[in-house]
Amino acid sequence: MERDATPMDLAEYLASRWPNEPALAAASSRGASAKTRGAGAVLGLLDAAIELDVEDLVGAALQVRGFARRAATAQAARDHGTCSATLLVGQGAQKLRGLLPGARLHVATVAEADGGANPTLAAEALAWLVDSGATLIAVPMGSREREPELERAVAYAAARGVPVLAARGGPAGEPAWFPAGYPTVRAVAELSDGEIPVVGSDGTLSLRGGSSIACVVAAALAVLGSR
């Protein structure tokens, strides 16, 4: 996806696509305050891996902690978390200003070298995000397996009043993956009207879809709608 030298403001872009979304309309109309959009909010993100050297993440208020025993280095894993992070707190230095560039983002990375995630460590990561002060947590990943450790971590978040949004995963009509399948988690299905511009681990702008991207967008809209 080619763009000119002017970075895209994701709130403005999505407001033009979804004119009936009040949170986007308000956010995109603030003009000069776009760089501080989301200021004061603290979000949690549980994701695969992240590339912190991407130019659009430089200057973002990021706190990152790795939980994997042998962290993933594959581009696919780094792309996944980087896309999520730039969608949320991209600073607009090069390609993209995210939906909440002024927010704090606490990131827990869990992908192992083989691409999977240990459920015990993923549960620890989720609990850490709760304890770190995140007031809302996005989990744009999941598993078909119901894991007791992760279920307890989700219950821990619910008991402390921290909403968790997770990618529903799987084809339509099939049961939601976990943690989206737990009753206290807000399951987010894929977008019905196309893909969203994001910046990957190589710093390029591209279009991505699926329930993972939708989960992160939904988390950002929840924050914008509460302000």
Q: What is the pLDDT of residues 41-98, one digit of tens each?
A: 999 999 999 999 999 999 999 999 999 988 877 888 899 999 999 999 999 999 999 9
**Which one has a higher pLDDT value, 41 or 23?**
41
**DSSP codes of every residue in 155-190:** HHHHHTT--EEEE--SSTTSPPPBTTTSTTSEEEPP
The pTM assigned to this predicted structure is 0.94
Q: What is the pLDDT of residue 57?
A: 98
Q: Average pLDDT of 193-197?
A: 85
Nearest by Cα to 71 from 114, 120, 124, 127: 114
Tell whether the model's pLDDT for residue 19 goes beyond 60: yes
What's the pLDDT at 79? 92
pLDDT at 151 over 90: yes
How far is Cα 197 from Cα 99, in angstroms, rounded to an integer? Answer: 11
pLDDT computed for residue 28 by the predictor = 65
**Domains of the chain (ranges, CATH numbers):** 8-225 (3.40.50.200)
Q: Which two tokens mark 44? A: 């949690």
Rounded to whole angstroms, the Cα distance separating 58 from 199 reads 13
